[in-house]
A = this chain, B = another copy of it.
Amino acid sequence: MSAPRPVLGVGVLGAGTVGSQVIRILQSSREDFAARSGAEMEVRRVLVRNVDAPRDAPIDRELLTTDPAEAIDNMDLVVELIGGIEPARTLVLRALNQGISVVTGNKALLAAHGPELYEAAASNGADLYYEAAVAGAVPVVYGLRESLAGDRITTVMGIVNGTTNFILDAMSTKGLSYEDALKQAQDLGFAEADPTADVEGFDAAAKCSILASLAFHTRVGIDDVAVEGISSITKEDMEEAARVGHTIKLLAIAERRIGEDGREGVAMRVHPAQVPSDHPLASVDGAFNAILVEGEAAGRLMFYGQGAGGAPTASAVLSDLVAAAHHRAFGGHAPRESVYAHLPILDPGSTHTRYQIRLQVEDRLGVLSDVAGIFARHGVSIQSVHQRNDEVPGACVIVVTSHRAREADLRAVARALSVSDAVREVTSTIRVEGE
């Protein structure tokens, strides 16, 4: 009765944890995918570095190739899951320049070369999809790019890195030190041997810039994000947070607001922060990701799910593939890069946040007044002060939490405290968000 379904050739670049799941599911649910996209998808070649390497899921050996041309040229769709900048960039461009649609999970590539890839896609009539690059299975790229296309977004705030979330979780619930929690994450496969990209916040910053581009229709890069990692968070910071009913999370925050020159702009930052325990992000555990989005009309939305792992990430890749396949077979195309707003990047120092500063001070009369004076001189008002004796004789601990103030002024307060005679040591400064 009906016309035979078109058959689309799919080349997969990379057969690691995610790639092998993508291939497995594409093959095992072939009929489902055909019914949903209206076209058959056939994995025709899988690019690997070594055809003899062990795989997470078995792959038909004759699909494997080490020649990029075989896995890209003459395909209808290409899935890039190699990661990193090169050779991923060259291969993705090779596909797009031939008009082949690309689905990628490569956040580093997008954060560094997004505009170039978008332009190659648009000028060759190809789709570029990348749901899996931001938060694993969580459909936040879809959400921002399509579901919220009818709204003006003001804030995106999320937990987008599972490694750091696992570490902070272990510190908070098991009372581990940062070093022990990191070791545990490494032992369980949640952290790399070299954890720098995760724990220093670079992975979250790349994702933050992708989310901000989508939310604010503006080109931003990873270098526009003010980044601070979690490696200086201590057990004591966790205890202090718990004392006030808070927990510590690594947040990626992108905001649209009026800058100090009166113009609207975008500010982006990644840093650990205390959040109240009843905040929606506080209960996001382990390897889960969650992204809060505030729209002028929609109000607050949250997207929540698994941020990493072979199958969850494959789920995101496959949805993108269904959409790209549908366009290939029946016309239409993915949303192009939308950067019409061209908002300026705001100075991170002009961001408003709150600090909790923990100090070791001399145990003498008047020291609190000295400390409070430093806050006042920088125009920062204090919300609460908590004082207790320290284990060190002659010293006590003061924990000061500010009201919302300019980041630059808060930093100036911390600097002034560190050189004040009244203060022995600024033990910790941490931001407080979500109140």
Residue positions of A touching B, CB distance < 8 A: 21, 25, 29, 32-33, 35-37, 131, 137-139, 142-143, 146-152, 217, 278, 280, 283, 295-306, 309, 311-312, 314-323, 326-327, 330-333, 335, 338, 340-341
Contact = CB atoms under 8 A, between A and B. Distances in A.
A148 B318 CA distance: 8
A331 B341 CA distance: 25
A299 B319 contact: no
Contact of A37 (B29, B149, B298, B301): B149
B305 A300 contact: yes
A147 B283 CA distance: 24
Nearest to A331: B331
Contacts of A306: 298-301
A137 to B, nearest CB: 4
Contacts of A303: 301-304
A309 to B, nearest CB: 8
Given A149-B36, A151-B318, A299 B305 contact: yes
A300 B262 CA distance: 43
Given A150-B316, A151-B315, A152-B32, A302 B300 contact: no
B29 A298 contact: no
State the main secondary structure of chain A at its contact with B. Answer: mixed
A340 B35 contact: yes
B150 A217 contact: no
Contact of A305 (B142, B301, B340): B301
A224 B237 CA distance: 53
A283 B327 CA distance: 40
Q: Which 3 A-B pairs have the closest CB atoms?
A: A332-B332, A150-B318, A139-B147
Nearest to A309: B299
A320 B150 contact: yes
B302 A305 contact: yes
Contacts of A330: 332-333
B317 A150 contact: yes
A176 to B, nearest CB: 22
A142 B149 CA distance: 12
A138 to B, nearest CB: 7
A278 B340 CA distance: 42
A399 to B, nearest CB: 28
Nearest to A37: B149
B327 A150 contact: no
A340 B319 CA distance: 17
Contacts of A131: 147
Contacts of A300: 305-306
A323 to B, nearest CB: 6
Contacts of A321: 150
B147 A142 contact: yes
A278 B36 CA distance: 36
